[in-house]
Chains A and B, each alone.
Chain A
Amino acid sequence: EAGVTQFPSHSVIEKGQTVTLRCDPISGHDNLYWYRRVMGKEIKFLLHFVKESKQDESGMPNNRFLAERTGGTYSTLKVQPAELEDSGVYFCASSQDLWGRKTQYFGPGTRLLVL
């Protein structure tokens, strides 16, 4: 069974540009999460989809970030326009069930550098 995949693995862009990150969850997982780790800090929650609906987007830093999940399958996270402080590693995770006891399986992350 394929794990969570993320694309691209690395992205280097200039301030003001737009970047779109993609996450493909494990097949059949209704729950999809985005997290971010800024250098030197902890991994922080951004948002949570249940199928195509946003269950919780309380962690989204501002309106420059837009997440979508088309048809409840893959998800994209767009940053527009990117700022220097957006640099970090963006992780996607998926799980089979809503409740906290279910394991979240993480992708390898996208390393974003904004210059």
Chain B
Amino acid sequence: AQSVTQLGSHVSVSEGALVLLRCNYSSSVPPYLFWYVQYPNQGLQLLLKYTTGATLVKGINGFEAEFKKSETSFHLTKPSAHMSDAAEYFCAVSDQMESTLTFGKGTMLLVSP
């Protein structure tokens, strides 16, 4: 069975500061990893995904994530936070055998001026 752990239900940063949202997964087969974002009153939007190939994945809005197999991690980063980044972020895992997504509990990112 797969599982996803997101450390911190809430993360607060100042505008312009580094954003780091942590995600660890467990999977018995090579995983596919995703980050989704949910802005207030909107649906889930894909930020980026890792399936195979390059372990550093770049997404939309300046976000990127690195797949580290040895650490079973897929942390999301952005060098400089913007007020518009305030949202809830979800890490998810699937694999080549199962297409359904297993989500973490989500991390609410708060950005202060």
Contact = CB atoms under 8 A, between A and B. Distances in A.
Q: How large is the interface on A (under 10, 10 to 19, 20 to 34, 35 or more residues)?
A: 20 to 34
B100 interface: yes
B43 A45 contact: no
Contact of B99 (A4, A59, A95, A106): A95
Contacts of A59: 100
Contacts, number: 64
A35 B45 CA distance: 15
A106 B103 CA distance: 13
Contacts of A44: 103
Interface string B68-96: 00000000000000000000001010111
In this complex, the interface size class of chain B, counting residues with CB under 8 Å from chain A, is 20 to 34
Interface of A: 3-4, 31, 33, 35, 41-45, 48, 56, 59, 91, 93, 95, 98-109
Given A4-B43, A100-B99, 9 more contacts: A33-B101, A41-B105, A42-B106, A43-B106, A45-B100, A45-B101, A103-B49, A106-B44, A109-B43
